Amino acid sequence: MSDENHEDEKLSTLFDGTAEQPSPASLTKLHARAADVPGRVRRQRSIAWIVLPTALGSIAALAFVLVQHRSTSFSPTRPLAAVPRAVDTRPATPSTAPAEPPSAVARSESTAAPTSEPAADDVTDELGFDTDDSDDAIGAAAALDTELGPSEGDGIDAMDDPPSDANLDVWLRATDELMQEGG
Amino acid sequence: MNIALGTMDRRTAPLHGVSSGNALADPASVSVEEELVRRALAGDGHAFAELVRPHLPVLYRIAARACGDVVLAEDAVQEALTLAYGRLGRYRPGTSLKAFLAAFAARQAHTLLRGERRRRSREETSASPDRGPEPLEVLAASRTMARVRAALAKLPRKRRQVVLLRLDADLSYAEIAQVVGSTEGSARVLVHLALKELRDALEDVLETAP
């Protein structure tokens, strides 16, 4: 134990002998720096109080913008360009709900539209069709649609769209060619 | 270089478990210290400077031990004082202010010693330039200081800390226990192990020492 104490004394002596002692100039400098510490710490804290809320606000604003951007990008109400337009598979029954009044734009279009084409009622009258019969036919088509199911009726419903004149001409020519080949 | 050669008998007593006598037994001193702490916390720089003035040599000694450079040691003391001021609200007047400040100096010394270890490894890989002739005594002291720093750098962090607190800051076991957050008995064992490891590392230096 005494040897160990002796060794500790030697170690202590070694540390004392190799210790750096501050010069008076160093001590004066350290004292002056110590006097500056509270002011510097206070300045750093005040800067932190200014910078930290600003940084947090900027981060919050950025996060808000990103969240908004993501929500508009993946919104379910936004039409997706890559998805084809859904085919209308509803039955062709006339709606029993009262028709909505046409909007101002629609009214102006209807009044501005050329009146060279006769109204549908006029046409049926001229051709001798009974509107009741046509209603029955529509009802039968609806029943057929229901029997076939929505997927099988797609092709039929697609033809319900009013054909353009060009499409009609093409269709007529194709029909004529078919008749000639068959005849 | 201001090396304290020849101060051999000053520090023998504290190594045998006697308190280093830093406690502020005088109630008047306690009240003065309390007043200085209060003013320092209110932002009075002069009060803080007066509070730490008696302990600046010890803080400088710890920092210089760690980095081996005068300018770096001054910077390290300033950083330790800044850290200590940030925690000054936790200091209880009447306890050991020396231990409180030395803890920050030792913590800063850990950082500096780590940098010193990196610097040494760089210098070992590259050819170091010849420093030129130096007086033999100063040269020998410089080498011894470098050996001591190297031995300290190899110690685990906590052991290194208690060596600095014991041998450079001259703290008692009770004060070391306060710094490291343990009982006095644990601090005593920790110091014993740290000194033993350091003695083994510096065996040849101690043999040649007078």
Please report the pLDDT score of residue A160 as a whole number.
54
Burial of A18 (0-12, 13-18, 19+ CB in 10 A): buried
**For B167, which DSSP code?**
I
Mean pLDDT of chain B: 80
Mean pLDDT of chain A: 70
Measured at the alpha carbon of residue B162, what is the angle toward residues B159 and B185, in degrees to the nearest 5? 95
Q: Which amino acid is at B160?
A: R
Helix (H) or strand (E) holding B138: helix B136-154
Q: Do A30 and B40 touch (CB under 8 A)?
A: no
Provide the phi-psi class of B43: left if phi over 0, else alpha when psi is between -120 and 50, else beta: left
Please report the pLDDT score of residue A132 as a whole number.
55
Q: Do B167 and A11 touch (CB under 8 A)?
A: yes
Please report the pLDDT score of residue A137 as a whole number.
60
Distance in Å, alpha carbon of A32 to nearest chain B alpha carbon: 7
Q: Is the pTM of this model over 0.80?
A: no
On the question of pLDDT at A100 being above 60, the answer is no
Give the model's confidence band at A115: pLDDT under 50 very low, under 70 low, under 90 confident, else very high. Answer: very low
Q: Which of A93-97, B86-90, B118-122 has the lowest mean pLDDT?
A: A93-97
> In this structure, is the dihedral angle defined by the CA atoms of residues A27, B104, B97 and B194, taken in order, positive or negative?
negative
pLDDT in tens, A134-161: 556 666 656 655 555 554 445 455 555 5
Distance in Å, alpha carbon of B181 to nearest chain A alpha carbon: 24
- Contact between B191 and A8 (Cβ < 8 Å): no
Q: Which among A12, A27, A38 has CB closest to B56?
A: A27
Give the model's confidence band at B172: pLDDT under 50 very low, under 70 low, under 90 confident, else very high. Answer: very high
Q: Which among B53, B64, B168 has CB closest to A31?
A: B53
Chain A residue numbers with beta carbons less than 8 Å from the beta carbon of B109 are none
> What average pLDDT does range A23-29 have in this prediction?
91
On the question of pLDDT at B50 being above 90, the answer is yes
Please report the pLDDT score of residue A107 as a whole number.
52
Chain B residue numbers with beta carbons less than 8 Å from the beta carbon of A11 are 167, 195, 198-199, 202, 206
On the question of pLDDT at B59 being above 80, the answer is yes
Measured at the alpha carbon of residue B108, what is the angle toward residues B107 and B112, in degrees to the nearest 5? 120
User: Which residue in this structure is represented by tokens 């100063």?
Assistant: B138
Of residues A125 and B75, more confidence is placed in B75
Q: Which among B16, B45, B64 has CB closest to A5?
A: B16
Distance in Å, alpha carbon of A36 to nearest chain B alpha carbon: 6
Chain A residue numbers with beta carbons less than 8 Å from the beta carbon of B164 are none
Is A40 touching B (CB cutoff 8 A)? yes
Alpha helices in A18-164 (DSSP H): 24-73, 104-112, 120-127, 131-152, 154-159
